[in-house]
Amino acid sequence: MKFEKSIIKIGLEKKLIAKYGKKLLEGSNFEIYDALSQTIMEELGDYWRATKDIYSDGREAFYFSAEYLMGRAFSNNLINLGVYDGVKELLEELDIDINNVESAEADAGLGNGGLGRLAACFIESMATLNLPGTGYGIRYKFGMFRQQFEDGFQVEYPDNWLKNGDPWSLRKDRESIEIKFSDKESVIAVPYDTPIIGYKTNNINTLRLWQAEAIGELNLKKFNEQNYVEALREKNEAENISRVLYPNDDTDEGKKLRLKQQYFFTSASLQDIIKRFKLKRGADFSKLPDFISIQLNDTHPVVAIPELMRILVDVEGLLWNDAWQIVQNTFAYTNHTILSEALEKWYTELFKEVLPRIYNIIIKIHIKFQELLEDKYPKDLAKRKRMAIIDEETKLIHMAWIAIYGSYTVNGVAELHTDILKNTELKDWYDLYPERFQNKTNGVTQRRWLLKSNPELSSLIIELIGKDWITDLSELKKLEKYITDKNILNRFLDIKNIKKEQLAKFIKENTGIVVDINSIFDVQVKRLHEYKRQILNIFHIMNLYNRIKEDPSIKVTPKTYIFGAKAASGYFRAKGIIKLINEVAKTVNNDIDVDERIKVVFIENYNISPAELIFPAADISEQISTAGKEASGTGNMKFMMNGAPTLGTLDGANVEIVQEAGLENNFIFGMNVQDIIELKKSGYDPSIVMKETQGLEKVMKQLVDGTYNDGGTGMFKELYDSLLVGTSWHSPDHYFVLQDFEDYRKVRESIDTAFEDRLGWAKKAWMNISNAGKFTSDRTIKQYAKEIWKIEGKKI
């Protein structure tokens, strides 16, 4: 694919005149961004169409995900197309800064964390590998909320990323689909297609996102009766379905909306797939699994299984057993969690009200499965009850059980995670279907997280080993031979300082905090959840601050602790942890006694754009989840390939990172999974641990003695009680924060000495970069393609 600079310039000029009535030098940064993006889109059209045509000739994979955390598309697309430098030169000739044009694009924040970012990496890898894959999801008008801190509290505001439109998507009205919920409600699903551009390939894959709209825009009779609210009720209720990513669901109304969202996009996607299948191959649905594989990204899209049964049985007239065999051979399920509370469950009454026909189908699936279990385990009533799709006592529908029963493969996302699923969490199911279970360790795309985010380091790598690593990350292994080259190591350290300067500038502009780039940038950025243990991190900072105040003469290597995280809007305890971090930051950052030693920075509204500054600048990657709780993690991989050693537990993909880069080049602490099992057996009393761990009792008391102010909300007392008293739904210190504190402190402080040996530190970082090859999403997607989807690359 070739783009002439002159063609781009002409297109840019035409778009600016046609849409904004402006000449080239009059356009704002956004207008230039918009016009350039539309110009590129026009040039892609023929390739995009040809890709769809060649893919439809054979077997295809379809990725169903409630989230796609895409981030900004402009510069990533230009890099993958190989035209970034040309466009930059063109803009420079016009005295326009490409960085300002890039910044004019809104972040497409259609995801919350690792799940959505993984989906974005996966579909980019599919395109780069020329694999016939399409993503399906929801086009939320408002993405993950815009986070602001007000007096240290998280406050949520709408993230209206579509306020100025999206030049990277095309509305396809003629391919809209009607979605029926109960007999009383139907909406229209309108598709918006986004091109997914692979690296230096002519193939253009597709992400199709559905927007919910009303069948009737306006009830004119009621409007003329001046009943304006009722006149627009149908429109508003329909649009609510795709209005917000993950609406608060702590009420029945919120739960109904969540369920509607899930059914809305899965039904639209399935109807779309079936329509295309029939046009191409007729109505012999026994062949559907020969040409279609659908990957369910966690439990959110699992309602697709009974929905496909509805389509095959009710609409296409197949017999139940024939339809079920097709369903089981069409779906594959990825489990992303070890936390039982995150395995989605729905109350039967709610399902019956919103999706009555789907509920009836689930009842029949439940009955059929019970018959299978009675035949398999006639004397084991307890096992049959554990595995029941509908729990007769709680009246809950287990979506994960439907996913496993209705799929031909089930995969975990890291070796440890998959082992835990097989041996404990899903052991009953592994015993029943051992052939279905696989592991697919996650990965991230190096095009965004190294080539784009860290052009300085990328240039050094290209100078040393060439460009092949951009599409074959295992090439990074060749960097190991430079491990004793002081010149190269010093150049790496210089690059790290450049990236730290860039992040420091961003921090100053966005928080007002001035940070020392020579300090250790100790970073924990991820979703805010108790199991990820941001509270362990802030407890250590509180303890270190206390020690400095008690003995100002103690030696402390300067550190900048950097946090970034959003708490779910209804997650009170997670919000309490955010407030605590901000209160500690306010105290520490305004105390001249520690001014040159520690700073605490909480970056507001953490998303993809700041992440692209943070990962390359980090010295330490905090991956401190309770062992056995993190399925994989992907931030750990981004830090690794940018040269930040891991400070973490042996959890998720940390285990494999250490295997690849070496234990001596990372900082591992805390209990492993087996240690936790043994501790639970012997009995765990966190109050004893607190009293026996130097300095920890004081930290705990500071939660409730007024040292830090929670604004009268009771948040800090609730945190205190959760650790020492427990709650109705979990035991005290459920995630072993207090138990792991001492080892965390010891290992964390060993980093000081290691960091002061600058060449020694550079070697640790370099070994992480050199051994990051396994953690590319290209490798993961190749494994999905070969071992689950059975698809092969096709180039146009």
Among 322-326, 340-344, 493-497, 714-718, which stretch is predicted with the lowest mean pLDDT?
Answer: 340-344
The answer to whether residue 218 scores a pLDDT higher than 80 is no
Write the single-letter amino acid at 62. Answer: F
Q: Are 583 and 124 in contact (CB under 8 A)?
A: no
Cα distances from 693 to residues 276, 696, 745, in angstroms, run 64, 6, 11
* Overall average pLDDT of the 455-475 stretch: 98
How far is Cα 350 from Cα 344, in angstroms, rounded to an integer? 14
pLDDT of residue 46: 95
Q: How many CB atoms lie within 10 A of CB 348?
A: 17
Would you call 243 a catalytic residue per the annotation? no
The answer to whether residue 340 scores a pLDDT higher than 80 is no
Q: How many residues does the chain have?
A: 796
pLDDT of residue 426: 95
- 133-172, pLDDT tens digit by residue? 999 999 999 988 999 999 999 999 999 999 999 999 999 9
pLDDT of residue 339: 77
Q: Please, what is the average pLDDT of the chain? A: 95
Cα distances from 274 to residues 175, 267, 315, 398, 452, in angstroms, run 13, 10, 11, 26, 38
Q: Choosing from 440, 532, 566, 597, which is the catalytic residue?
A: 532
Would you call 634 a catalytic residue per the annotation? yes
Backbone torsion region of residue 714, taken as left when φ is above 0, otherwise alpha when ψ lies between -120 and 50, otherwise beta: left
DSSP element (H, E) containing 687: helix 686-692
How far is Cα 307 from Cα 320, in angstroms, rounded to an integer? 13
Q: Choosing from 526, 566, 774, 779, which is the catalytic residue?
A: 526
The answer to whether residue 273 scores a pLDDT higher than 80 is yes
* Overall average pLDDT of the 325-338 stretch: 96
Nearest to 148 by CA among 530, 507, 606, 714: 606
- 307-319, pLDDT tens digit by residue? 999 999 999 999 9
Would you call 336 a catalytic residue per the annotation? yes
Query: Domain 482-775 falls in which CATH fold?
Result: Rossmann fold (3.40.50)
The answer to whether residue 3 scores a pLDDT higher than 90 is no
DSSP element (H, E) containing 398: strand 396-398
Give me the DSSP letters along 453-474: T-HHHHHHHHHHH-SGGGT-GG
Among 85-94, 213-222, 251-260, 555-564, which stretch is predicted with the lowest mean pLDDT?
Answer: 213-222
pLDDT of residue 216: 83
Q: Please compute, for residue 469, the number of CA atoms within 13 A of its CA located in the half-sphere on the CB side.
A: 29
Q: Is 667 strand, coil or helix?
A: strand
Q: Choosing from 527, 540, 575, 579, which is the catalytic residue?
A: 527
Query: Domain 60-71+107-140+172-442 falls in which CATH fold?
Result: Rossmann fold (3.40.50)
pLDDT of residue 337: 87
Could you tell me where in the chain the CATH 3.40.50.2000 domains are found? 60-71+107-140+172-442, 482-775
Q: How many CB atoms lie within 10 A of CB 773?
A: 22
Sign of the C-alpha dihedral computed for residues 776, 779, 781 and 787 taken in this order: negative
The answer to whether residue 31 scores a pLDDT higher than 90 is yes
- 486-543, pLDDT tens digit by residue? 999 999 999 999 999 999 999 999 999 999 999 999 999 999 999 999 999 999 999 9
* Overall average pLDDT of the 621-648 stretch: 97
Name the pLDDT band for 465 (thresholds 50, 70, 90).
very high
pLDDT of residue 300: 96
The answer to whether residue 122 scores a pLDDT higher than 80 is yes
| Structure tokens belonging to residue 378 | 């006639």
pLDDT of residue 509: 97
Would you call 184 a catalytic residue per the annotation? no
Determine what percent of the chain is predicted with pLDDT higher than 90. Answer: 91
Instruction: Give the distance from CA 268 to its chain's centroid.
Output: 23
Does the reported pTM lie above 0.85?
Answer: yes
DSSP label at 105?
S
Beta bridge partners of 647: 622, 667
- 781-790, pLDDT tens digit by residue? 999 999 999 9
pLDDT of residue 362: 98
pLDDT of residue 247: 80
Q: How many CB atoms lie within 10 A of CB 664?
A: 11
Largest CA distance in the chain: 82
Would you call 134 a catalytic residue per the annotation? no
Q: Choosing from 39, 337, 634, 780, which is the catalytic residue?
A: 634
Give me the DSSP letters along 713-751: SSHHHHHHHHHHT-BTTB-TTTT-HHHHHHHHHHHHHHH
| Structure tokens belonging to residue 312 | 């095959």
DSSP label at 396?
E
Q: Choosing from 15, 310, 336, 779, which is the catalytic residue?
A: 336
Would you call 532 a catalytic residue per the annotation? yes
Nearest to 598 by CA among 557, 537, 639: 557
Write the single-letter amino acid at 510. Answer: N
Name the pLDDT band for 293 (thresholds 50, 70, 90).
very high
- 363-406, pLDDT tens digit by residue? 999 999 999 999 999 999 999 999 999 999 999 999 999 999 99
pLDDT of residue 728: 79
Write the single-letter amino acid at 463. Answer: E
Q: Choosing from 258, 638, 748, 764, which is the catalytic residue?
A: 638
Name the pLDDT band for 24 (thresholds 50, 70, 90).
confident
The residues, ordered by sequence, that sit 6+ positions from 485 with a Cβ below 8 Å of its Cβ are none
How far is Cα 466 from Cα 450, in angstroms, rounded to an integer? 14
Determine what percent of the chain is predicted with pLDDT higher than 70. Answer: 100
The answer to whether residue 2 scores a pLDDT higher than 80 is no
Sign of the C-alpha dihedral computed for residues 505, 507, 510 and 513 taken in this order: negative
Give me the DSSP letters along 652-718: TTHHHHHHHH-GGGSEE-S--HHHHHHHHHH---HHHHHHHSTTHHHHHHTTTSSSS--TTSSHHHH
